[in-house]
């Protein structure tokens, strides 16, 4: 699992890597510059478009200088704009500066006129994780000017002005792409910064996962390679029972679709038997929900222990009479998945939280979460509250959105790397409930069900949106679930 290192520890991490590999800081900077350049030339093949690289005085600026040299040697048209007298710049900046071919134009910020051709690249190498205060003075002046340009804007490591682990105060560089070294910086995952980071590209500069883990604390970015080990594998003789018998509870007049989508998602995730309970149904014989889904009537809910996992909430309606929910939580002692109106009911009757089976999984979006814990002024506070909620209630808290976070009772937080904006469509959360319930029913631990669940859900959204884009609907995500297993070679 890729550790997200706090900004204040990055220079220690770099030092440890330098020592372990027996290389110099300059060589590490060269790796960072090479990693950036490989991405750049792969993405933008045309050397005709001029590139302006704005370099601050620290190592972020040093990266910019090294990148300038490498791209120049490949035939790109480069101009450098620097801020400080060389003697005020970091030693690796100076060393790279001295290696620049004399033919690269170098300008000082104070005399630079911001008249650029319409089609240009602007590369922000002004400030990186060394930012220690909000932008002001000439730095702010520069960033505001850059933001006004129509160029393609690329940030090195992090857009200048965004604090690596906090929330932006004032303004920052508006990047179309942020090419970040080795791991995403925490703040790049905050919704507040979406317009600043643009697309995030993580490039490898050679620091090992083991070393990252030594410097990491409790935050991780989920990657494809982390998934196989968390999955269960089935064999030729596996039978329906091995794949689990799950129950999805929800739906109410006008909102039956929500629980049906969750149920279909559970089937597509591999559940052996999927039952669906629509409250208020006296007899299951009159209920036809979908060919493969078995309807369960109120009277048939005596033997909850027959189920391997239960998911509750999609389309349920807020339960003004909480006695059914209370009895469910009292009688079913395996982890449950709670979403939507299940969460809203918990917010209304918080004493029910004490009845949650250990390691249950709650899947709120921001609004549902704030109904449970109160308003949050920013994402940092939301993440902190998610961590304490999970600890206090011994549950797994999945906070949905871009870069969905998964908080575990032991304080660890995982951030999902799959998914896209096209998933912001009615019912996609219901699909997630079905996927996670299915994994639980197949015998996955709650942690693995949550991590595999959000990853496959996001990947299904990506796959379905390839051809559908804005027209994607939640049913398309369900139909793409099988392809996620094929892509990841999980059979």
Q: Which residue is nearest to ligand ADP (CB)?
A: 429
Partner from ligand NAX, ligand ADP, K ion, none contacting 57, C-beta within 5 to 8 A by type: ligand NAX
Chain positions contacting ligand NAX, by CB under 6 A: 11, 14, 25, 28-29, 32, 56-63, 90, 92, 127-133, 135, 139, 156-157, 181, 205
When CB distances are held under 5 to 8 angstroms depending on the partner's kind, the choice from K ion, ligand ADP, ligand NAX, none that residue 132 binds is: ligand NAX
Q: Which is nearer to ligand NAX, 61 or 311 (CB)?
A: 61
Q: How far is the CB of 303 from ligand NAX (least distance, A)?
A: 57
3-state helix, strand, coil in the chain (%, to 5): 45, 15, 40
Nearer to ligand ADP, 25 or 311 (CB): 311
Token code pair at residue 334: 């395996």
Closer Cβ to ligand NAX, 127 or 423, answer by number: 127
Alpha-carbon gap, residue 364 to 253, rounded angstroms: 22
CB of 363 to ligand ADP, least distance (A): 7
Token reading at 348: 């209304």
Q: Which does 124 bind (CB under 5 to 8 A by kind): ligand NAX, ligand ADP, K ion, none?
A: K ion
* By the rule CB under 5 A, 143 interacts with K ion: no
Residue 133, classified by CB atoms within 10 Å of its CB into exposed (0-12), middle (13-18) or buried (19+), is exposed
The option from K ion, ligand ADP, ligand NAX, none interacting with 274 (CB < 5 to 8 A, set by class) reads: none
> With respect to ligand ADP, which residue has the nearer C-beta, 158 or 398?
398
CA–CA separation, 260 and 430 (whole Å): 9
Report the distance separating Cα 168 and Cα 161, nearest Å.
7
Within 148-277, where are the H helices?
A: 194-197, 209-215, 256-268
In DSSP terms, which residues pair with 221 in a beta bridge? 2, 415
Binding-site partner at residue 250 among ligand NAX, ligand ADP, K ion, none, CB < 5 to 8 Å by type: none
Q: Any known ligand binding at 177? A: no
Residue 440 binds which entry of K ion, ligand ADP, ligand NAX, none, with Cβ cut-offs from 5 to 8 Å by kind? Answer: none
Pick out residues in 265-294 that bind K ion (CB under 5 A): none
Say how far apart CA 152 and CA 332 lie, in whole Å: 55
Q: Is 258 annotated as a binding residue?
A: yes
* Least spacing, CB of residue 62 vs K ion, in Å: 12
- Which among ligand NAX, K ion, ligand ADP, none contacts residue 155 (Cβ within 5 to 8 A by kind)? K ion
Q: What sections of 198-254 are H helices per DSSP?
A: 209-215
Residue 63 near residue 156, CB atoms below 8 Å: yes
Residue 77 Cβ vs K ion, minimum distance, rounded to whole Å: 21
Q: Is 17 annotated as a binding residue?
A: no
385 labeled binding residue: no
Q: Which residues bind ligand ADP (CB under 6 A)?
A: 340, 365, 400-402, 404, 419-421, 423-424, 426-430, 432, 457
Q: Which does 421 bind (CB under 5 to 8 A by kind): ligand ADP, K ion, ligand NAX, none?
A: ligand ADP
Task: Flag whether 393 is marked binding.
Answer: no
Q: For residue 204, what are the contacts with CB-CB under 8 A and spacing of at least 6?
A: 35, 182
Angle, vertex CA 397, rays to CA 320 and CA 261, nearest 5: 65
Nearer Cβ to ligand NAX (62/270):
62
Beta bridge partners of 361: 337, 396
CB of 131 to ligand NAX, least distance (A): 4
14 binds, among ligand NAX, K ion, ligand ADP, none (CB under 5 to 8 A by kind): ligand NAX
* Residue 461, marked binder: no
User: How many angstroms separate the CA atoms of 25 and 485, rounded?
Assistant: 41
Q: Point out which residues pair with 81 in neighbouring strands.
A: 54, 107
Is residue 161 part of an annotated ligand binding site?
no
Q: What are the structure tokens assigned to 128, written together?
A: 């990186």
62 is in an annotated binding site: yes
Task: Indicate the residue among 123 and 131 with the shorter CB distance to ligand NAX.
Answer: 131
- 3-state SS record for 123-181: EEECCCCCCCCCCCHHHHHHHHHHHCCCCEEEEECCCCCCCCCCCCCCCCCCCCEEEEE
Q: Establish if 164 lies at the interface with K ion (CB under 5 A).
A: no
Question: Is 61 marked within a binding site?
Answer: yes
Check whether 204 is labelled as a binding-site residue. Answer: no
Is 99 annotated in some ligand binding site?
A: no
233: Cα within 13 Å, side-chain hemisphere: 9
Please report whether residue 227 would count as binding K ion according to CB under 5 A: no
Question: 32 labelled as ligand-binding?
Answer: no
Contacts of 87 (CB under 8 A, 6+ apart): 94
Question: Cβ(284)–Cβ(300) under 8 Å?
Answer: yes
Q: Which CB atom, from 107 or from 402, has the smaller least distance to ligand ADP?
A: 402
Listed in order, strand segments (DSSP E) in 182-242 are 199-203, 219-221
The answer to whether 404 is a known ligand-binding residue is yes
| Binding-site positions for K(+) | 60, 124, 160
| Binding-site positions | 59-63, 124, 128-134, 139, 157, 160, 258, 315, 365, 400-404, 429-430
| Binding-site positions for AMP | 400-404, 429
């Amino acid at each position: 699992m890729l550790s997200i290192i706090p900004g204040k520890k990055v220079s220690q991490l770099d030092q440890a890597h330098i020592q372990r590999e027996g290389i110099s800081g300059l060589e590490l900077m060269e790796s960072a510059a090479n990693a950036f350049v490989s991405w750049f030339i792969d993405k933008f093949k045309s050397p005709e478009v001029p590139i302006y690289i704005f370099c601050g005085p620290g190592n972020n600026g040093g990266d910019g200088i090294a990148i300038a040299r490498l791209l120049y040697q490949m035939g790109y048209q480069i101009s450098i704009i620097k801020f400080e007298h060389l003697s005020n710049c970091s030693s690796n900046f100076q060393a790279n500066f001295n290696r620049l071919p004399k033919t690269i134009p170098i300008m000082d910020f104070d005399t630079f006129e911001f008249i650029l051709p319409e089609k240009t690249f602007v590369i922000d190498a002004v400030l990186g994780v060394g930012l220690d205060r909000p932008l002001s003075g000439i730095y702010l002046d520069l960033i505001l000017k850059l933001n006004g340009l129509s160029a393609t804007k690329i940030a090195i490591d992090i857009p200048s002005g965004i604090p690596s682990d906090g929330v932006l105060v004032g303004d920052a560089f508006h990047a179309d792409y942020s090419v970040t070294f080795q791991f995403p910086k925490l703040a790049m995952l905050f919704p507040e910064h979406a317009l600043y980071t643009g697309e995030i590209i993580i490039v490898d500069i050679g620091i090992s996962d083991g070393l990252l883990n030594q410097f990491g604390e409790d935050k991780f970015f989920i990657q494809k390679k982390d998934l196989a080990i968390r999955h269960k594998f089935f064999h030729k003789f596996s039978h329906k029972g091995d794949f689990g018998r799950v129950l999805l509870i929800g739906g109410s007049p006008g909102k039956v679709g929500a629980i049906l989508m969750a149920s279909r998602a559970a089937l597509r995730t591999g559940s052996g038997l999927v039952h669906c309970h629509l409250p208020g149904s006296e007899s299951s014989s009159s209920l036809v929900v979908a060919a493969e889904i078995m309807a369960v009537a109120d009277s048939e809910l005596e033997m909850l222990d027959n189920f391997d996992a239960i998911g509750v909430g999609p389309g349920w309606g807020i339960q003004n009479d909480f006695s059914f929910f209370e009895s469910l939580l009292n009688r079913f002692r395996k982890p449950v998945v709670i979403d939507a109106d299940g969460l809203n009911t918990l917010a209304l009757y918080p004493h029910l939280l004490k009845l949650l089976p250990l390691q249950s999984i709650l899947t709120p979006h921001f609004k549902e979460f704030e109904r449970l814990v109160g308003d949050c002024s920013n994402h940092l506070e939301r993440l902190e509250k998610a961590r304490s909620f999970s600890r206090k209630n011994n549950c797994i808290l999945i906070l949905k959105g871009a870069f969905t976070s998964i908080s575990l009772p032991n304080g660890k937080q995982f951030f999902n790397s799959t998914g896209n904006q096209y998933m912001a469509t009615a019912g996609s959360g219901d699909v997630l409930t079905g996927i996670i319930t299915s994994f639980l029913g197949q015998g996955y631990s709650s942690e693995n069900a949550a991590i595999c669940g959000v990853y496959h859900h996001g990947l299904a959204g990506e796959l379905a949106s390839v051809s559908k884009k804005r027209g994607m609907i939640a049913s398309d995500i369900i139909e793409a679930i099988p392809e996620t297993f094929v892509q990841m070679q999980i059979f």
